[in-house]
Amino acid sequence: MIGIILGLIGGGGSILTVPVFVYLLYINPVTATAYSLFVVGVSALVGAIRNIQKGLVDFRTAIVFSIPAFIAVYISRKYLLPAIPEDLFTVGDFLLTKNIGIMIFFAIIMLIASVSMIRSNGKAEPKASTKRFNYPLILLEGFVVGVLTGIVGAGGGFLIIPALVLLAKLPMKKAVATSLLIIAIKSLIGFIGDIETMDIDWNFLLLFTSISVVGIFIGVSLNKYIKGEKLKKGFGWFVLLMAVFILLREFGGF
């Protein structure tokens, strides 16, 4: 499913990896975000290689955005996440633990992503900005996206693509293609920080990732017959429902 969605709409599928790992496969949320980084990174890399062959990747922009992003995601995984205490705070009878906090934060990111996907439907692709290449803002955005990726384990394409269009003046197709390379770099760099701090079940992770990559090629083939924008809106509503489900579950509703 994750691979097919990535292949069909060029992003968004990676936001399913953490809920799948946590709620279907019963993996600890911290470990789930680490595994998600690897799945997202490898999947995005496959897509990026295809786009490089087509000449759609802007390497200058990718490098400027990636440097602060992978520094931030590595620091987040290596130092920030392990430094968060297991018990954060108590409100009445409710104890907010580290695992619950990660899932709630992830649900908030999912809500933002879902709104972005739903609102994009039916609108014309945004044109590249006429402003000059804005290095400071691209560097800042790269760092912020890197921190978010490090904490929740999602690629952050819904944040990266608008930044590349508005700040780097890239056409939409180039922005999507370049974002895959950025996602691949920062996700895999972030995962390196996890290799040093936790035990990785490589057999499971490589099997899951391989199936996701197969799904990408299926999605790319189906993309010829299904309109990506309509699918994107439908998937956006699905992500919105998933976010609400996570919030209800973590607050004891389910």
pLDDT digits (tens, 9 = 90+) for 123-149: 444 454 444 567 788 888 888 888 887
- Rounded to two decimals, the pTM is 0.75
Question: What is the DSSP annotation of 8-72?
Answer: HHSSSGGGGHHHIIIIIS---HHHHHHHHHHHHHHHHHHHHHHHHHTT---HHHHHHHHHHHHHH
- Could you report the per-residue pLDDT of 65-107, keeping only the tens digit for each? 888 888 888 888 888 888 888 888 887 777 888 888 888 888 8
Cβ neighbourhood burial of 54 (10 Å; 0-12, 13-18, 19+)? exposed
Angstrom distance (rounded) from CA 180 to CA 17: 17
Confidence of residue 254 (pLDDT cuts 50, 70, 90): low
Beta bridge partners of 97: 87
